[in-house]
């Protein structure tokens, strides 16, 4: 069965002024939709290679036929990453330091980073142009021992491709911020923290999977 573009869980203007409506419309309706379309086109050649779940599909890239593997990596990754990204955002969820991590995630954050501020600084640094050159994502990952770590991936690669579990992702492709922030990626990242859905991050931490 063909993959479909999921609806945004809020309005296109819900993340204003931090992420603007026009960016959300283009990012969701055009960019994400193109990943879905191109993923379906690739899988038409090998429908038997599709487990029917995009997270599972990109976790098992080595089983995907070679002639569509790059297309599945880029477009399956793009579909999985963006589907998660929309859920990681919520209106005004972290404004003014008003984050609700819940007990388990709060403890893991303190253990791994000392404080939430320090986690944000480290993830911001991982996503900054000096560290992540070009297009990609920065991730908060939960390890099998329940500890947290931060890493960046290029293009539309996902930590799922390496058997890792992301619980927060930050898109730093230019299409995610260029209309409003132009070349100021760091400014976009700093504003991103105002709309992180920490309740969803906590839920993913507690369930131990994406
Ligand atoms: Mn994007």
Q: Tell whether 190 is covered by a domain.
A: yes
The residues pairing with 148 across neighbouring beta strands, listed in sequence order, are 142
- Spatial CA neighbour of 163 closest among 79, 39, 61, 88: 61
Number of domains in the chain: 2
Residues 179 and 16: beta-carbon distance below 8 Å: no
Please determine, for residue 209, whether its predicted confidence score (pLDDT) is greater than 90.
no
CATH number for the domain harbouring residue 199: 3.55.40.20
| C-alpha 98 to ligand 1 mean position (Å) | 26
Q: Return the structure tokens found at 91.
A: 């209106």
| C-alpha 32 to ligand 1 mean position (Å) | 7
Query: Which domain, by its residues, includes 179?
Result: 98-207
pLDDT at 84: 98
Please determine, for residue 210, whether its predicted confidence score (pLDDT) is greater than 60.
no
| C-alpha 26 to ligand 1 mean position (Å) | 10
| C-alpha 60 to ligand 1 mean position (Å) | 22
Q: 122 and 81, same structural domain? A: no
What is the rounded average pLDDT of the residues 90-100?
78
The alpha carbon torsion through 21, 22, 27, 29 (nearest 10 deg) reads 90
pLDDT at 1: 74
What is the rounded average pLDDT of the residues 34-56?
97
C-alpha 190/C-alpha 45 separation (Å) is 42
| C-alpha 103 to ligand 1 mean position (Å) | 31
Residue-wise pLDDT for 116-170, tens only, equals: 999 999 999 999 999 999 999 999 999 989 999 999 999 999 999 999 999 999 9
Q: 109 and 51, same structural domain? A: no
Q: 194 and 120, same structural domain? A: yes
24 burial level (CB within 10 Å; 0-12, 13-18, 19+)? buried
Residue appearing with tokens 């573009």: 5
Q: Using CA of residue 145, residue 189, residue 193, residue 155, what is the dihedral sign?
A: negative
Q: Tell whether 12 is covered by a domain.
A: no
| C-alpha 155 to ligand 1 mean position (Å) | 10
| C-alpha 189 to ligand 1 mean position (Å) | 14
Q: 104 and 203, same structural domain? A: yes
Q: Across all residues in the chain, what is the average pLDDT?
A: 95
Does pTM top 0.85 for this prediction?
Answer: yes
């Amino acid at each position: 069965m063909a993959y479909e573009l999921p609806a945004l869980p809020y309005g296109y203007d819900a993340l204003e002024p931090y992420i603007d409506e026009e960016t959300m419309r283009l990012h969701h309706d055009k960019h994400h939709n193109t990943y879905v379309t191109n993923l379906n086109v690739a899988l038409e050649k090998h429908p038997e290679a599709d487990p029917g779940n995009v997270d599972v599909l990109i976790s098992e890239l080595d089983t995907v036929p070679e002639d569509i593997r790059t297309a599945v990596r880029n477009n399956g990754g793009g579909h999985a990453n963006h589907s998660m990204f929309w859920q990681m955002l919520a209106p005004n969820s972290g404004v003014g330091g008003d984050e609700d991590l819940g007990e388990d995630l709060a403890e893991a954050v303190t253990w791994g980073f000392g404080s939430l501020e320090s986690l944000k600084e480290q993830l911001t640094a991982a996503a900054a142009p000096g560290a992540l050159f070009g297009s990609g994502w920065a991730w908060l990952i939960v390890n099998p021992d329940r500890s947290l770590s931060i890493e960046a991936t290029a293009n539309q690669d996902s930590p799922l491709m390496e058997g890792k579990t992301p619980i927060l992702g930050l898109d730093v492709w230019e299409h995610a911020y260029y209309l409003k922030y132009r070349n100021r990626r760091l400014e976009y990242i700093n504003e991103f923290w105002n709309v992180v859905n920490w309740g969803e991050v906590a839920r993913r931490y507690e369930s131990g999977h994406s």
